[in-house]
């Protein structure tokens, strides 16, 4: 495990490149506001159709540089077998108690890949356990203040969107850092989007959520809690 680094926002996802697809622009926007961002990948990508764990580790490091995150690590949960077990929860608890994020971004709780929706429940339960003093890991108890869910690929209305217009090109570059996944190749050609379509799909999805929020490009999120407003005159997004 890497040396402990305190972060304000930690994005947790099943696979290397999941964060880049769903909330990479948001991490860059938060960095621009002076916040410290981090990424925890639960698996190392050894079971993927394309690329090896070693290749994806190098690509993840390059993507992290582009996203300007201050901390990134990957757990040793088997790729394709992300399960909500006590042992896996404790692995995440140890990280949470090290880096102590105020906000955790998790995957949305439904989807095609079991690793993705299992990561959502696993991540939430780890955040809860992390605050229990009698769960001993060698570090002080700590519980994040806020959990939000990256919902880019979910067919749900988001609770809010984050304007990533200023970061859309860098977000796209971070995704393409995963050459083993997105360069055209015979392996997995029936499963992966052709390279010449990736940009169009990426920008059109961000454009859709930007339209909902009254900006050009945005990333969507869900929260389980009711939002709190202090001043009705400062609520963003025009109604008419």
Count Cβ atoms below 10 Å from residue 54 Cβ, excluding itself.
Answer: 12
Q: How confident is the model at residue 188, as a pLDDT?
A: 47
Angstrom distance (rounded) from CA 157 to CA 148: 14
Q: How confident is the model at residue 1, as a pLDDT?
A: 45
Could you tell me how many helices (H) and strands (E) the chain has, helices first?
Answer: 8, 7
Angstrom distance (rounded) from CA 219 to CA 213: 10
Angstrom distance (rounded) from CA 212 to CA 108: 19
CA 1 to chain centre: 19
Q: How confident is the model at residue 48, as a pLDDT?
A: 62
Which residue pairs from 86-92 have beta carbons closer than 8 angstroms and sit at least 24 positions apart in sequence?
88/42, 88/122, 88/126, 89/122, 89/125, 89/126, 89/129, 90/126, 90/129, 90/135, 90/137, 92/12, 92/40, 92/42, 92/122, 92/123, 92/126, 92/127, 92/130
Q: What domains can you pick out in the chain, each with its CATH number? A: 9-234 (3.40.50.10320)
DSSP lists the bridge partners of residue 220 as: 161
Q: What is the pTM of this model?
A: 0.91
Q: pLDDT truncated to tens, each residue of the chain (240 aa)?
A: 445 569 999 999 999 999 999 999 999 999 999 999 999 999 987 756 666 778 889 999 999 999 999 999 999 999 889 999 999 999 999 999 999 999 999 999 888 889 999 999 999 999 999 999 999 999 999 999 999 999 999 999 999 999 999 999 999 999 999 988 776 555 544 556 677 788 899 999 999 999 999 999 999 999 999 999 999 999 999 998
Check if the beta carbon of residue 36 is closer than 8 Å to that of residue 54. no
């Amino acid at each position: 495990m890497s040396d402990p680094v305190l972060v304000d926002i930690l994005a947790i996802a099943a696979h290397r490149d999941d964060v880049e697809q769903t909330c990479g622009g948001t991490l860059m926007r938060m960095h621009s506001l002076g916040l410290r961002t981090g990424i925890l990948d639960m698996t190392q990508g050894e079971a993927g159709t394309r690329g090896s764990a070693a290749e994806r580790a190098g690509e993840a490091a390059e993507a992290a540089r582009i996203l300007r995150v201050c901390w990134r690590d990957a757990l040793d949960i088997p790729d394709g077998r992300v399960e909500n077990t006590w042992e896996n929860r404790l692995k995440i608890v140890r990280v949470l108690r090290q880096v102590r994020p105020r906000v955790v971004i998790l995957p949305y709780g439904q989807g095609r890949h079991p690793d993705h929706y299992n990561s959502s429940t696993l991540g939430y339960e780890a955040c809860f356990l992390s605050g229990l003093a009698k769960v001993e890991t060698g570090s002080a108890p700590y519980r994040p203040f806020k959990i939000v869910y990256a919902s880019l690929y979910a067919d749900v209305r988001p609770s809010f969107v984050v304007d990533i217009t200023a970061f859309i090109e860098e977000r796209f570059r971070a995704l393409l850092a995963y050459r083993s996944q997105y360069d055209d190749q015979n392996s997995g050609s029936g499963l992966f989007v052709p390279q010449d379509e990736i940009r169009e799909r990426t920008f059109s999805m961000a454009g859709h959520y930007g339209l909902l929020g009254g900006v050009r490009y945005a990333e969507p999120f869900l929260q389980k809690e009711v939002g709190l407003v202090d001043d009705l005159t400062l609520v963003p997004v025009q109604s008419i």
